[in-house]
């Protein structure tokens, strides 16, 4: 019996990253305005986000309401690395990083939440990683 070499399907496998691999998409949460453009543009609907309206009574005579991001996730079981969400984001809150996706032993683990998407930026800043050379071409 053969096993998949993909760690998302088989976490026990030895995964060899290929030079052409694009890495992962990371989120910069404080740059996200919850505009929903990436959610609408994603061809496979694998981005979810929730936001809440907060009222600032000190902003002018009537105050002002703003949307504040409360949760953002990408289902990497569906994502096809097309990059449309990155191109569409008006605030550069999404970016390619030279980071491998964490291994997943269940389908649910393939969905990365706000914290894990933000953490990918830390891993992706490591230029000694085999994918690090991707940073130099972006």
| Phi, psi at 124, each rounded to 5° | -70, -15
Residue 79 binds ligand SF4 (CB under 6 A): yes
Residues 6+ away with beta carbon under 8 Å from 135? 97, 98, 124, 125, 127
Residues in contact with ligand SF4, shown as a per-residue x/- string from 15 to 54 under the rule CB under 6 A: ----------x------xxxxxxx---x-x-xx-x-----
Residues 6+ away with beta carbon under 8 Å from 83? 22, 25, 96
Residue 67 binds ligand SF4 (CB under 6 A): no
Residue 99 binds ligand SF4 (CB under 6 A): no
Q: Identify the CA nearest to 71 among candidates 104, 24, 118, 110.
A: 118
Selected from 5, 59, 68, 82, the binder of ligand SF4 by CB under 6 A is: 82
Give the residues lining the site for ligand SF4 (CB under 6 A).
Answer: 25, 32-38, 42, 44, 46-47, 49, 74, 79-85, 88-89, 91, 93-94
């Amino acid at each position: 019996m053969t096993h998949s070499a993909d760690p998302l399907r088989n976490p026990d496998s030895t995964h060899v990253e290929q030079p052409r691999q694009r890495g992962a998409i990371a989120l910069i949460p404080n740059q996200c305005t919850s505009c929903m453009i990436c959610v609408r543009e994603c061809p496979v609907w694998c981005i979810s986000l929730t936001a809440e309206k907060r009222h600032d009574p000190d902003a002018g005579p009537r105050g002002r309401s703003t949307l504040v991001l409360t949760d953002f996730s990408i289902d990497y079981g569906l994502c096809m690395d097309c990059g449309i969400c990155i191109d569409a984001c008006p605030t550069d809150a999404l970016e390619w990083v030279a980071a491998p996706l964490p291994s997943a032993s269940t389908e649910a683990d393939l969905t990365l939440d706000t914290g894990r998407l933000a953490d990918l930026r830390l891993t992706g800043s490591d230029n000694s990683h085999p994918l690090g050379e991707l940073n130099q071409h972006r």
